[in-house]
Amino acid sequence: MNINDAAREAKKASIRLAATPAAERNRALEEIARALKDRSGEIVRANKSDLERSRHEKLADPLIKRLRFDEQKIAEAVKGLQSLADLPDPVGRTLEARELDEGLTLYKVSCPIGVIGVIFESRPDALVQISGLCLKSGNAVLLKGGSEARETNRVLARIIDGAARQTGVCDGWMHLLETRSHVEDLLGLDQWVDLIIPRGSNEFVRYIMDHSRIPVLGHADGICHCYVDAEADPQMALGIVVDAKTQYVAVCNAAETLLVHEKIAPAILPQLKEALADRGVVLFGCEKTRALIDAEPAGDAQWQTEYLDLKMSVKVVADANEAVDHINTWGSGHTDAIVTANRETARRFLDEVDSGNVFWNCSTRFSDGYRYGLGAEVGISTNKIHARGPVGLEGLMIYKYKLIGGGNVVEDYDKGRRRFTHRDLDEDCPL
Amino acid sequence: MNINDAAREAKKASIRLAATPAAERNRALEEIARALKDRSGEIVRANKSDLERSRHEKLADPLIKRLRFDEQKIAEAVKGLQSLADLPDPVGRTLEARELDEGLTLYKVSCPIGVIGVIFESRPDALVQISGLCLKSGNAVLLKGGSEARETNRVLARIIDGAARQTGVCDGWMHLLETRSHVEDLLGLDQWVDLIIPRGSNEFVRYIMDHSRIPVLGHADGICHCYVDAEADPQMALGIVVDAKTQYVAVCNAAETLLVHEKIAPAILPQLKEALADRGVVLFGCEKTRALIDAEPAGDAQWQTEYLDLKMSVKVVADANEAVDHINTWGSGHTDAIVTANRETARRFLDEVDSGNVFWNCSTRFSDGYRYGLGAEVGISTNKIHARGPVGLEGLMIYKYKLIGGGNVVEDYDKGRRRFTHRDLDEDCPL
């Protein structure tokens, strides 16, 4: 199917899916989970063929690693779908209700956004997860996977679409796009596609963000900071910095830059260096840092680098203000933490650091939908509108205003024959 | 000042303004209101000079009309600022609180978006209104007015900025951009500017939307529909259609297209035509319409026209489904109304029409922030993310996650030494 036809069909399906009862969408999720489990052999075979071809084509190791979709990963995906089915329905929630006048009532009601475009590299689990999230939230989805995973994606899409159809969910709510030109095509479909979610490397996500007129939910960089204040408890600072840097280095919420107050730096930097060196971390420091400990030199290039590796930039700062300025200048608005015993310093840091996640006395690694208890994670966003930080199903939702009257006309209010009451109500939309 | 410097300064100011107490922002709003009142003579003189020059330059009449900023309009703007000062503070509201573990608590807290870029034609009142909304919500603002209003805008900006400074609000939170190239420059400043709000004609707004990588809050077209169902009360239908079309034709929420169920069309179309003709409305109809009443021919060109005039397109449809399809195909996602006595038909219409505002048995003209009781209106949005429909101050807000711990590290949870409790709390962020 031509991509324009697929998008048009998805748009039509999104209207019907939005009006589909929750029980039906949940039944489809359960059926998809069952079908994936039943047909795991078929999926694994397709995945082996993708892996073989990719190895032959000398695909980079991290991509091959993420391409693997074995029985264990299938089981995790199935479990994810089942817990999605158990979550409360995000569609049709009355967010506000207001009597505008007797017999004229306004309801602000949650509804799906419409058509979501998903572009992902490798990771066939992203296909399962995102189509599940979209179905749960009543959105149609256009999926564009990487060619390295084409056999796996094709089997997965066939199973998911088929299982959903069996339960009576409307056709056309999901489409797999297969050719390379489809990425550019998809980014230009702003008439039909309401939101793009990219899943892949930083360069990949940045490319999408730079080439789309459709809103993009996600983040390119994760340049996260730990600031150790003059009034930090040294033991706490050590624990948090080591965790933030080393607990898992390849992820967006790992810390990349350490900022240390100049008063505490002489005492704590040698300890920090030792603890980090124990975990194999190489440090890059400013001049003041290098006067206190051994480190490679650091400058603007380091402040804007996301290492995703056992490397860390270190800067000594005059005070919390300089730390905040540094973060707002060089950070990526993702996650930044302060370690201090001073409540007022913490309050100002949390207020003034312009990031989606601002932490006091805990590790940046907590910045995650699962750890936040969101139930399901759509992604982590560094956007400043709509959804920010770890995003649950609410990132796939918007609202509409439903106004219910009995023949009311504006003329009556403009002429003063009637007056608005504007009384907030505690009730759900009756329709 | 160079636009890049202005934007950088605005960004810095936005950080400080976000942390400014509500009382201080409200005091600044009151001081601005007072200063505008005190110096209204100066404003009117500048405006007269703009009006004179614009007449001399043969500016179009509607633009000249919107350019006028006389004592009465100043008084309205002053009143608007005063009521803004009285509204509850949108900054720092705890939206969610969750215990992740004992001693590790997550707060989702509202905060300003950051730097708002406003681009407006004529209407100096837009300058006052938007800078007031931004100050109230803790956002910095870059204002680009039309050259036709340059004298007025300059005086207004000087008064507003000066009055705010007097109360101690941080410098640099507002900048007036003056040269024509500033529009293109502003649209490219995605590093500093977080949201664009355009105010002006449809063509103007569409131009902004088509040329910016920064999110744009607003709407270009308002192609609103009234659908008169087979089960409509004829008297109610007449009242609503006449109000929606004629109560004020030059606005986005006026109806442009009338859809009539074929069963009721023969009885009601002649009455509708008469009532609309009484108000001077010229009709454009489909073939079926023209078999029942006199009308100019209508086709695709009419279905996508926003007349903003005493003209209306009319189409006879087979049923509510065809009405919904027509609206989702040709509408602009703004406001659409159904007139029917059938609750189930109404429910499906409200669910399936993909517009920000969907009405049952009332006029499309109610779609407005003041009538909705929002307190202050940022604009009407046809976006499908962030804010939709009439948008109050919440359209200028986003949130951040504040996580407060006591040295917590992720390693403990990954190794199973500790477990998340994920318990929702009913409390405000203590910082």
Buried b (16+ CB within 10 A) or exposed e, A123-158: bbbbbbbbbbbbbbbbbbbbbbbbebbbbbbebbbe
Of the partner residues B19, B373, B407, the one whose CB lies closest to the CB of residue A239 = B407
Q: What is the DSSP letter of B138?
A: T
Minimal Cα distance from A112: which residue of B?
A: B384
Of the partner residues A215, A404, A413, the one whose CB lies closest to the CB of residue B360 = A404
What is the distance between the alpha carbons of residues A395 and A398, in angstroms, rounded to a whole number? 8
Which residues of chain B have a CB within 8 Å of the CB of A112? Answer: none
Helix, strand, or coil (residue B388): coil
What is the distance between the alpha carbons of residues A185 and A188, in angstroms, rounded to a whole number? 5
Structure tokens at B249: 């034709």
Q: What is the DSSP letter of A213?
A: S
Minimal Cα distance from A192: which residue of B?
A: B329
Q: Tokens 């007072």 map to which residue?
A: B34
Structure tokens at B275: 């009532």
In total, chain A counts a number of residues equal to 431
Which amino acid, residue B151? E
> For residue B247, what pLDDT is reported?
96
- Average pLDDT along chain A, 431 residues, taken 10 residues at a time: 91 94 96 97 97 94 90 95 95 97 98 96 90 97 93 97 94 90 87 93 89 90 97 98 96 97 98 98 98 98 96 98 97 97 97 97 97 92 95 96 98 97 97 90
Query: What pLDDT band is residue B121 in, cutting at 50, 70 and 90?
Result: confident
Alpha-helical (H) ranges within A57-188 are 61-67, 71-86, 124-137, 150-166, 182-187
Minimal Cα distance from B241: which residue of A?
A: A409
> Inter-chain contact B399–A390, Cβ cutoff 8 Å?
no
> For residue A328, what pLDDT is reported?
96
- Domains of chain B by start residue, with CATH: 3-211 (3.40.605.10), 224-366 (3.40.309.10)
Q: What is the pLDDT of residues B346-358, one digit of tens each?
A: 999 999 999 999 9
> For residue A184, what pLDDT is reported?
87
Output phi, psi for A419, to 5 deg.
-125, 145
A319 near B363, Cβ under 8 Å? no
B259 near B225, Cβ under 8 Å? yes
> Inter-chain contact A324–B15, Cβ cutoff 8 Å?
yes
Which residues of chain B have a CB within 8 Å of the CB of A94? Answer: none
Minimal Cα distance from B413: which residue of A?
A: A371
> Inter-chain contact A410–B243, Cβ cutoff 8 Å?
yes
User: Taking 90 as the threshold, does the pLDDT of residue B210 lie above it?
Assistant: no
The residue-averaged pLDDT of B375-404 equals 95
Structure tokens at B44: 């009117």
> For residue B155, what pLDDT is reported?
98
Which amino acid, residue B108? K
A212 near A118, Cβ under 8 Å? no
The residue-averaged pLDDT of B185-194 equals 92
- How many beta-carbon contacts under 8 Å exist across A and B? 244
> For residue A144, what pLDDT is reported?
93
Structure tokens at B2: 């160079």
Complex ipTM, two decimals? 0.95
A365 near A335, Cβ under 8 Å? no
B118 strand-pairing partners: B143, B197
Structure tokens at B45: 């003189």
Of the partner residues A240, A384, A411, the one whose CB lies closest to the CB of residue B194 = A384
How does the average pLDDT of chain B come out, rounded? 95
> Inter-chain contact B19–A324, Cβ cutoff 8 Å?
no
Q: What is the pLDDT of residues B238-285, one digit of tens each?
A: 999 999 999 999 999 999 999 999 999 999 999 999 999 999 999 999
H and E: helices and strands count for chain B: 16, 17
In 3D, which of B18, B111, B22 has the Cα closest to residue B401? B111
Which amino acid, residue B194? D
Q: What percent of chain B stands above pLDDT 70?
A: 100
Q: Is B18 on the interface with A (CB under 8 A)?
A: yes
Buried b (16+ CB within 10 A) or exposed e, B317-345: beebebbbebbbebbbbbbbbbbbeeeeb
Query: What pLDDT band is residue B341 in, cutting at 50, 70 and 90?
Result: very high
> For residue A157, what pLDDT is reported?
97
Q: Tokens 């080393």 map to which residue?
A: A246
Q: Is B386 on the interface with A (CB under 8 A)?
A: yes
Q: Which of residues 34-53 of B touch A (CB under 8 A)?
A: none
Q: Is A239 on the interface with B (CB under 8 A)?
A: yes
Which residues of chain A have a CB within 8 Å of the CB of B235? Answer: 407
What is the distance between the alpha carbons of residues A310 and B242, in angstroms, rounded to a whole number? 70
Q: What percent of chain B stands above pLDDT 90?
A: 89
Distances (CA, A) of B5 to A289, A349, B103, B170: 31, 25, 43, 16
Q: Which of residues 350-379 of B touch A (CB under 8 A)?
A: 350-352, 354-363, 365-367, 371-373
**What is the DSSP secondary-structure string of B94-134?**
EEEEEEEETTEEEEEEEEE-SEEEEEESS-HHHHHHHHHHH
> Inter-chain contact B403–A195, Cβ cutoff 8 Å?
no
The residue-averaged pLDDT of B82-109 equals 97
In sign, the C-alpha dihedral spanning B26, B27, B28, B34 is positive
**Best mutation site among B348, B354, B397, B403 for testing chain A: the one with the most A CBs within 10 Å?**
B403
Work out the burial of residue B257: count CB atoms within 10 Å of its CB; fewer than 13 is exposed, 13-18 middle, 19 or more buried. Answer: buried
Q: What is the pLDDT of residues B161-189, one digit of tens each?
A: 999 999 999 899 999 998 777 788 899 99
Across A308-422, where does the E strand assignment appear? Answer: 311-317, 335-339, 357-362, 379-381, 389-391, 397-408
Which amino acid, residue A405? G
Q: Which of residues 199-218 of A touch B (CB under 8 A)?
A: 210, 213, 215
Q: What is the distance in angstroms between the Cα of A340 and the nearest Cα belonging to chain B? A: 10
